[in-house]
Amino acid sequence: MVHHKGSPADVIPLQYHAQMLLDDRRMGAFQAAIGRVVRPGSRVLELGAGTGVLAHFAAVAGAASVIAVEREPSVYQAASRSLAAHGDDVVVVHADARSFTPPPVVDVVICEMLHVGLLRERQVEVIGAFLSSYAGPPPAFLPCATIQAVQPVAQDFTFYGYTVAAPLFQDPSAAQPRTTPLAPPSIFQSFFYGAGALPAECAADARFVVQRDGELNAVRMITKNLLTEEPAPVEWLMNYLVVPLPAPMRVTAGDTVRIRFAYRPGDEIPELMASLYAEVLSPARSG
């Protein structure tokens, strides 16, 4: 399991929680999934409760008990106040989820400590800690799985005549005229939280056949979470992350390009960037 020293870089201030609350795709997907997975009488544990909104959805769905764990003091206080104001029967615990001892039986674990690429946040580490200290019957995890893909792109990094290659986020439901996909995405990772080993790293060594001429200067990271499979899948496609390549290259339709990277879940974006490597394997014939 990965351990990071020093002050946590993954602190999310309350004003960014408001942005999460304003994200209709995220909120709608979680509300729908919690309404399907949490049954009257369910014992629910939420790790990383934030403002408490998902614990609220669980209480509304009729959970018999909801325990919500949050590490950040001001966020914990906001969650405690709001859940109490709603009259929700939720026990809010101020603790680090990695050292929290779960109750003997949990039916549903809700954990949304997710960031595109599984970067920055400690979803994998927190669920790993839960699994190593929990001996009860297997709970349902929400989300239950994460699928990740990478795509070579030509990205316009010029802003008001000023060019700077900086990582950027994109709403996947919006048109992205600054991005030209050069090949379809390639899935490099896919795993379930409640079954099998959790990944120790996020790594790709993918080959793509380029579909159009352009400048390969970035990759797009794509992360989709399966919130639940039953009775019907509820998915949450996260904002894309476009990451510049250290050395852009011209590519031609028909070229095969290789893209590699490796980092640990919870690492920062610069650690992905430092490991990012691309090359043209077999140039297309001219003429």
Q: Is 48 in the site for ligand SAM (CB under 6 A)?
A: yes
Q: How many residues bind ligand SAM (CB under 6 A)?
A: 21
Return the residue of 33, 36, 58, 70 that touches ligand SAM, per CB under 6 A.
70
Return the residue of 44, 53, 119, 206 that touches ligand SAM, per CB under 6 A.
53
Closest CB to ligand SAM among residues 97, 227? 97
Sign of CA dihedral 224, 31, 43, 11: positive
Closest CB to ligand SAM among residues 238, 257? 238
CB of residue 187 to ligand SAM, shortest distance in Å: 23
Closest CB to ligand SAM among residues 112, 255? 112
143 touches 114 (CB < 8 A) = yes
Query: b/e map of 62-85 (b: 16 or more CB within 10 Å)?
Result: ebebbbbbbbbeebbebbbebbee
266 touches 125 (CB < 8 A) = yes
Q: Is 78 in the site for ligand SAM (CB under 6 A)?
A: no
Within 86-115, the residues that bind ligand SAM by CB under 6 A are 96-98, 112-113
**Joined tokens for residue 256:** 């095969």
Rounded CA gap, 286 and 249, in Å? Answer: 17
264 touches 118 (CB < 8 A) = no
**Joined tokens for residue 97:** 């989820």
Beta bridge partners of 65: 43
Cα distances (angstroms) measured from residue 87 to each of 8, 58, 109: 32, 13, 22
Within 213-242, the residues that bind ligand SAM by CB under 6 A are none
Q: Is 266 in the site for ligand SAM (CB under 6 A)?
A: no
The one segment of 32-40, 67-75, 160-168, 238-246 that binds ligand SAM by CB under 6 A: 67-75
Q: Is 117 in the site for ligand SAM (CB under 6 A)?
A: no
Q: Is 126 in the site for ligand SAM (CB under 6 A)?
A: yes
Return the residue of 44, 54, 109, 241 that touches ligand SAM, per CB under 6 A.
54
Return the residue of 33, 38, 63, 75 that touches ligand SAM, per CB under 6 A.
75
Residues that bind ligand SAM (CB under 6 A): 10, 12, 20, 48-51, 53-54, 69-72, 75, 96-98, 112-113, 122, 126
